[in-house]
């Protein structure tokens, strides 16, 4: 399995970010071929401010499947949508998943 994790920085307008993410970006991302998609608003166990605001996780069967999904029209649309809501930036990590 290959996973892409996108950790979004805290936006200046959290409600505007979430409205766009829920109604535009998440539906775009969920249609990417070969991907399963999950996301959530970050929180901490002790109630302090988390490092990131939202984390989105894309899982693919393989790295090759991830490349194909990101190269698809749906993947390109999701990537092109990022500037529309992620002005505070994001950290993207990609890795193979090893299950013990």
Return the CATH class of domain 2-96: alpha beta
CA dist 71 → 30, 34, 64 (Å): 15, 11, 11
Residue ranges covered by each domain of the chain: 2-96
Kindly state the tokens that stand for 57: 């996780």
Tens-place pLDDT, residues 4-43: 999 999 999 999 999 999 999 999 999 999 999 999 999 9
Looking up tokens 């990537």 gives 79
For the question of whether the overall pTM of this predicted structure is more than 0.85, the answer is yes
């Amino acid at each position: 399995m290959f996973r892409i994790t996108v950790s979004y920085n805290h936006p200046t307008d959290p409600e505007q970010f979430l409205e766009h993410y829920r109604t535009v970006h998440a539906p775009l991302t969920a249609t990417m071929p070969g991907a399963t998609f999950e996301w959530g608003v970050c929180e901490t166990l002790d109630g302090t401010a988390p490092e990131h605001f939202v984390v989105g996780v894309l899982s693919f069967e393989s790295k090759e499947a991830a490349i194909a999904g990101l190269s698809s029209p749906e993947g390109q649309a999701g990537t092109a949508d990022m500037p529309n809501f992620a002005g505070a930036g994001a950290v993207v990590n990609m890795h193979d998943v090893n299950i013990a």
